[in-house]
Chain A
Amino acid sequence: GESVGLHLPTLSVQEGDNSIINCAYSNSASDYFIWYKQESGKGPQFIIDIRSNMDKRQGQRVTVLLNKTVKHLSLQIAATQPGDSAVYFCAELNAGKSTFGDGTTLTVKP
């Protein structure tokens, strides 16, 4: 069956450093891969997505990399700020349904 999981449950970085959050997926048929950010007490918020036929996409301070050979997805956050502290989920979109991984908690130390 489908599953989306994350390598590390927690990540702690120093303010100003770059963060890399990883995700492994199993469904090769997924159309899109999406990263969400969830702050405490709130719903997930869209960060960036990447289509399955791409291997890199950049946004503002964020970059998503997709390696279909090893079914690996990563989110890179440049110059991490305290406001980036949250739980980050990867999700894969297939046939209109998004399947989420378990999340990585990012903590930014001042």
Chain B
Amino acid sequence: NAGVMQNPRHLVRRRGQEARLRCSPMKGHSHVYWYRQLPEEGLKFMVYLQKENIIDESGMPKERFSAEFPKEGPSILRIQQVVRGDSAAYFCASSPRLARSGANVLTFGAGSRLTVL
């Protein structure tokens, strides 16, 4: 079991470009969560998805950010027209079902580090 796979691990973009971050959940996991971590800060919830459905996107900025988790393939976090403030580590986590206990706790990937020049 390869765990939660995120790619790319590091991504450099210039202001105005698009960033696409991919997350493949653990085998058998149907729930994906995206978190953003600014330097020296904690993880901020962005969005929670099931296959083909966005369940909770209360942490997603209203503009430029979108996420999807198609029936086939990885979950994608897309940031359009990136700005310097988007520079952060973006972590994906997965769970086999709705995380209702610490036991079916989130399994995190190693993160994708976005740097906007």
A contacts, CB < 8 Å to B: 4, 31-34, 41-46, 48-51, 89, 93, 96-103
Contact = CB atoms under 8 A, between A and B. Distances in A.
Nearest to A89: B42
Interface residues on B, range: 20 to 34
A96 B109 contact: no
A33 B100 CA distance: 11
Given A32-B101, A45-B108, A46-B105, A98 B91 contact: no
B42 A98 contact: no
A97 B103 CA distance: 14
A51 B100 CA distance: 10
Contact of B44 (A31, A48, A93, A100): A100
A99 B45 contact: yes
A48 to B, nearest CB: 8
Contacts of B42: 4, 89, 100-103
B116 interface: no
